[in-house]
Structure 1
Amino acid sequence: MSDLADQREGYLAHIAVERGLSKNTLAAYRRDMRRYEDFLRQRDVDSLARVVRSDVEEFAQELSAGTPERAALAPASASRTVVAVRGWHRFALAEGWTTDDPSRLVKPRAVPQRLPKALSTAQVEAILEVASVGDGAAALRDRALLEVVYATGARISEAIGLDVDDLALEAGAEAVVLRGKGNKERVVPIGGYAVEALDAYVVRARSPLAQAGRGTSALFLNARGGRLSRQSAWTILRAAAERAGIPDVSPHTLRHSFATHLLTGGADVRVVQELLGHASVTTTQIYTAVTQDTLREVYTTFHPRALS
């Protein structure tokens, strides 16, 4: 392969299979690589074999500085784009399309670490208490959905991706099978409140919802009997948060709260890593900063010489 477009598609085909990336992630990679491809073509570079280190360095600088034609990218987006470019070059070298990797010394821009927003346990309980309005099928579904998201720390895509067969509600072994990034499965235990909400939904509400559709294995159904969408799940949470009087809540907020509450309670960070489905413990460790703030507050409040 000598043309940039062919090399791009070859790499995308590779990572689609090897990493099991979602369509959205692949689309982001394609956008990043096309931007790099456009940059190289403006320099009359039509193959990765002709790229030199200064090309990659100046592209990285352009991402952060912008051009008259294209706005600068946010730090996280610029970093992601450089990572995509580096991966493309490594693959080209491994495939023998190039004899060198000019990107190997070009580092992604450091992204300022933002602590995740976590709700207090009282706030979470308030949201869950008002998650359902009435005793209809939709109300029982809404309560079960939010109980599962908080009980397992699931991404919203993982929760709505659940099938009925992914539930194990036998006493003493209650758990759900979640499918995360790369379609990797993990078994996550669930507590009594979530089990109770799921049991009420499955027994009393799912069948009436399913009757409107053509038959599906999906656990959480919409009014037409099909699988609940991400947007609908977000609307369910937002409505519950508004009823509870708690602003700025997203599906990821419950995931952040799940992790923070476990760590604050003394859970091992590697256990939380497994529960969240993080490939690296480094990703999970961002939550430890939140618990350190709590420890510091307790120390300064109660230690007799903390303020001396």
Structure 2
Amino acid sequence: MNLDQAREDFLGYLTIERGSSSNTTDSYARDLQRYVDHLAKQNITAPDAVKRADVTTYIATLSDEGYAARSIDRAVSAIRSFHRFMVADQICETLPTADLPAPKAPLHLPDVVSRVRMAHLLDEQNFKVVPRPGEKEESLRFRKRVACGLRDKAMLELLYGCGLRVSELCGLDRRTVFLEDELLRVFGKGSKERVVPIMGAAARALVRYLQDGRPVLEASRSGDALFLSTRGTRITRQAVFSVVAQAGERAGIPTPEGADGKRHGLHPHTLRHSFATHLLEGGADLRVVQELLGHASVSTTQLYTHIDRTHLREVYLEAHPRAHIR
């Protein structure tokens, strides 16, 4: 078996046995295809022919080509897992990635929307729909636009109020919502299940959508999907990205420039970051926030403590009478 065939077996293992998400599998597929192609140019196609020097040379090549440290870190993780799989599956005997150090990615603090801006973003008025010229309120088109307004409000409230990922929001079914118990059953990365509370503004917005929005959007193809498109199908990730970006634009929330120098609008994950940060600022325990976010390791959640400490410093500088004395 050559490296390319082993790569296909490994991707199948990730999907079927590990239950990895399609996003993870796709990322690993791209990283490993690049790796295998690089080795093939060096006439290395057999799994046992790969030496440690070949791996380290490839990693250095990624750095020379300008790949970000985070991208290189992900590639190294994919390569390590790939070689461990080949040894475990007896495809080869050598493990050239043993004790291979990973490049340390620089600390990147996620973007966070302030509480004041978040309140403006979720203001009821931003989701109100009025008839267009010549449009009758009883028309199906107008009723669908009103239903979409209720849906969009509920989706943003859940992203921020429950700290959901976009994929988790899109994957919600009506049967996973337990409003009487104020709970949502969420399926996160790797199909891992967790239960998160839904209450207050998020619960109220969801009830309104279920009562007055979803029935208007519902069609024979809807199934049990919670959030629906205008065609009655399950809402897509792309649609959620668009809804959040448009809401951010209406609320005047500035967004940072991307790698291409353009501003791509408010990102749904920013609402999840804001959820975690505001909880910690309010005194929530780090382990509780970890559980709510569905992080496998508390070290991932600890990233938000850096933001919280920044917030504490700003409050101190603003409030203490002697903070600015030199």
TM-score normalised by length of structure 2: 0.87
Aligned partners of 1:282, 1:247: CA distance in 2, in Å? 29
Kindly tell me: are residues 131 and 237 of structure 1, through their superposed partners in 2, closer, same or farther at Cα, counting changes over 3 Å? farther
Which one of the candidate residues 169, 181, 196 is aligned to 1:159? 169
Deviation, structure 1 residue 301:
4.0
Kindly tell me: are residues 163 and 121 of structure 1, through their superposed partners in 2, closer, same or farther at Cα, counting changes over 3 Å? same
**Secondary structure, in 3 states, of the residue corresponding to 1:194?**
helix
The alignment status of 1:254 with 2:258, answered yes or no, reads no
- Paired residues in the alignment total 299
Aligned to 2:194: 186
Aligned partners of 2:100, 2:222: CA distance in 1, in Å? 52
Aligned to 1:290: 307
Which one of the candidate residues 66, 73, 78 is aligned to 1:84? 78
Deviation, structure 1 residue 233:
1.3
Aligned to 1:202: 210
Encode CA deviations 1:227-272: one digit per residue, 9 max, x unaligned: 1111111221222222212122210110010000000111111111
Which one of the candidate residues 101, 110, 130 is aligned to 2:104? 110
Aligned to 1:4: 3
Deviation, structure 1 residue 102:
1.0
**Secondary structure, in 3 states, of the residue corresponding to 1:134?**
coil
RMSD: 1.6
Aligned to 2:139: none
Aligned-residue identity in percent: 45
**Secondary structure, in 3 states, of the residue corresponding to 2:122?**
helix
Whether the 8 Å CA contact 1:56–1:106 is kept in 2: the answer is no
Aligned to 1:223: 230
**Secondary structure, in 3 states, of the residue corresponding to 1:90?**
helix
Deviation, structure 1 residue 297:
2.6
Aligned partners of 1:267, 1:18: CA distance in 2, in Å? 36
Aligned to 2:243: 236
Aligned partners of 2:297, 2:126: CA distance in 1, in Å? 33
Aligned partners of 2:221, 2:33: CA distance in 1, in Å? 41
Deviation, structure 1 residue 226:
0.7
In structure 1, what residue type is equivalent to 2:107? Q
Deviation, structure 1 residue 304:
5.7
Aligned partners of 2:297, 2:217: CA distance in 1, in Å? 39
Aligned partners of 2:222, 2:310: CA distance in 1, in Å? 49
Aligned partners of 1:238, 1:46: CA distance in 2, in Å? 45
**Secondary structure, in 3 states, of the residue corresponding to 1:186?**
strand
Structure 2, unpaired ranges of 5+: 131-145, 256-265
Whether the 8 Å CA contact 1:131–1:142 is kept in 2: the answer is no
Structure 1, unpaired ranges of 5+: 67-71
Encode CA deviations 1:198-217: one digit per residue, 9 max, x unaligned: 11111111111104x43411
Aligned to 1:23: 22
Deviation, structure 1 residue 296:
2.0
Aligned partners of 1:237, 1:298: CA distance in 2, in Å? 29
**Secondary structure, in 3 states, of the residue corresponding to 1:178?**
strand
Whether the 8 Å CA contact 2:166–2:237 is kept in 1: the answer is yes
Whether the 8 Å CA contact 1:118–1:260 is kept in 2: the answer is yes
In structure 2, what residue type is equivalent to 1:224? R
Whether the 8 Å CA contact 2:185–2:196 is kept in 1: the answer is yes
Aligned partners of 2:221, 2:170: CA distance in 1, in Å? 18
**Secondary structure, in 3 states, of the residue corresponding to 1:20?**
coil
**Secondary structure, in 3 states, of the residue corresponding to 1:205?**
helix
Aligned to 2:115: 121
The farther-off stretch of 73-82 and 268-277 is 73-82
Aligned to 1:134: 129
Aligned to 2:221: 214
